A and B are shown apart, each in its own frame.
Chain A
Amino acid sequence: MSSAIAEPVTTVLPKSTLDTMILWRTLSVLLLFGSWEIAGRIPISIAFPTFLETMDAFFTLIFDGRMFYAYAETLKPLIVGVGISAGFGISIGIGMGLNRTIQWLSEPIFIVMQAAPMAALIPLVTFVYGIGLAAKVCAVVILAAPIIVLNSYKAVTNANTSLIQMCASFQGSRMQQIIRVIIPDASPMIFAGLRLGVAAGFIGVILAELLITPTGVGDLITYHRSVAEYNYMYAAVFSIMLFAAVTVGLLEKAEIAFFRPERKQKKGG
């Protein structure tokens, strides 16, 4: 039961708080990159470049086009794999949350998949699917899907009973309950699973490119490591982290735009 609140409450952050938040976040990033620069200058290892050297290599890779070429290769299995994981994963997860038979049938499989070290199965995937796109897609799916499925399942089972009853009390059909109440209510957790799943998908695709055949960003890492151009190797790793962070951030924005408009941050005065 929520407590009584005499005055209207809002989550609008005042401008001063927003400024403070931006300041601390900037400081956090500066601290990380500063530490990296110092560690590279000591140096802690001959194979550990400074932040500035890495950035130099990063922009070189962008401007000479190698980064774009690499991502064009890497994104193929990633997009297909994450697409399959998201589409099937969310559907199966929601199905598990709504139907006991589907739950009993699927839950053990995905719990085992989530708990087991699925990366260890990548050689087996290569054995079955060869060294082409299918094997890499499979690597993405086996890492991303269990997280997406189990989060969607938990999200639906934890959907607010009171809201479902409210919908039923106004003669909402089961389909209306699912579409108008259960899925929007479950969307924060479904999207949290999707974000984790996408992050796991990135791990899957890079592992596939390192373990199956060196292509795309995996090839950039492997090649520059083999010729001891560590700044380029780290630039490729840095690009993956940056790309993953941006993708996850965009997913959050998509969630807010389509499902949770109330979480849009209003401009505070």
Chain B
Amino acid sequence: MDVNIIEMWPRIAEATNETLLMVFISLALACLIGIPLGIALVVTREGGLIENGPVFNVLNVIVNIFRSVPFIILLVAILPVTRFIVGTSIGTAAAVVPLVFFSAPFVARLVESSLLEVNTGVVEAAQAMGATNWQIIYRVLIPEALSSITLNLTIATIGLVGASAMAGFVGGGGLGDLAIAYGYQRFETDIMIVTVVLLVVLVQFVQMIGNFLSKKLRRL
């Protein structure tokens, strides 16, 4: 035992902070990109509100490409892009870039599937009432799917917690980094256990909030 858990606490707290920061910022950016993308996939598809084959096909292929690259490869593959955007390829900020590239297409797919669950009859009813396409999107599709979108975003968030652990490879910091650097490479089992427990608590917490919000959002 080279290190003492008590002495390590500041380091653990910092890592927890880094994980939360990475997950939160990546999630926010991924939603910013992924939600409109998911909406676009739904409305441009065949039989959609603003059916547009070419646009749908292009978006669909782009999403599939990013969805098929394993995160660890993506992390390395887009290093030049990361360097271009944040000016460096190491650190927490640098880890956010691949995390966004990884989770935005995922969020898009999740949002897409939630929106597709909305009863097409309700959309038809809104059209019959003289709603514009825009009104249908933000007054029918999104509110009706919000509960399901929230549950799906919970899945994405937990996915991000997992992926952020791998960001240690680019010196991204966070609990994953700590677990690898101390728990795995230096055989500090205590540290490994503490980080895993913290990750478990974090995931439980995220799922709990997701479930709670989803239930609330079933009735607007």
A and B together in one complex: no
- Listed in ascending order, the chain A residues whose CB lies under 8 Å from chain B are none
